[in-house]
């Protein structure tokens, strides 16, 4: 089975910020405990454009991370309601990379805040056809450099209300 991950990460040390964000957007979600200054959450309902609803209420830096092992990787970063980074790499049929908003200075600052190196950062986004590393995908490397802890195999599809892992809280049930 191939990995499917679809998660949001709010730069905050306060889980209440995520609770307020989900309540304001009027969506159900599942929230992880804070790690490295990020609170990870997933949205249970994917109807409509949930990203817009979250963006409108976003109180700070918000990352939307999507990784589908056999198909694609997407990284969007919002600063309040503004989209400041937008990258997509798809490799279902052939490799297609879209650097719609590609601000490496902003991304580098977030990485440096975690005490991590930005050396060769751009190379992680310049995938080559037939050269996809499934052992250490660039998506993982970027997530780790950003200080994200919960990103592998994280999606609403993997959440069940009655059997949540320790540390995961349901919001807006």
Q: pLDDT tens digits for the chain (173 residues)?
A: 688 999 999 999 999 999 999 999 999 999 999 999 999 999 987 666 888 999 999 999 999 999 998 899 999 999 999 999 999 999 888 889 999 999 999 999 999 999 999 999 998 998 875 555 667 899 999 999 999 999 999 998 877 666 788 889 999 86
N- to C-terminal Cα separation, the chain: 29
Expressed as residue numbers, the domain containing 141 is 4-171
pTM confidence score: 0.93
User: Considering its fold, how many domains does the chain have in total?
Assistant: 1
Find the DSSP H helices in 80-163: 104-113, 138-145
């Amino acid at each position: 089975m191939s990995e499917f991950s679809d998660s949001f990460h709010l730069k905050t040390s306060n889980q209440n910020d995520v609770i307020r964000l989900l309540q304001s957007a009027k969506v159900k979600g599942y929230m992880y405990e804070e790690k490295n200054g990020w609170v990870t959450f997933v949205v249970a309902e994917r109807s409509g454009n949930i990203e817009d609803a979250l963006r409108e209420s976003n109180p700070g830096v918000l990352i939307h991370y999507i990784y589908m092992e056999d198909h694609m990787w997407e990284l969007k970063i919002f600063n309040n309601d503004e989209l400041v980074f937008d990258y997509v790499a798809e490799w279902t049929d052939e490799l297609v990379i879209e650097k719609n908003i590609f601000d490496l200075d902003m991304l580098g600052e977030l990485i440096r805040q975690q005490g991590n190196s930005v050396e060769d950062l751009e190379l992680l986004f310049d995938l080559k056809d037939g050269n996809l590393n499934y052992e250490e995908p660039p998506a993982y490397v970027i997530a780790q450099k950003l200080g994200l802890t919960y990103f592998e195999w994280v999606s609403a599809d993997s959440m069940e209300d009655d059997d949540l892992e320790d540390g995961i809280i349901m919001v807006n049930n």
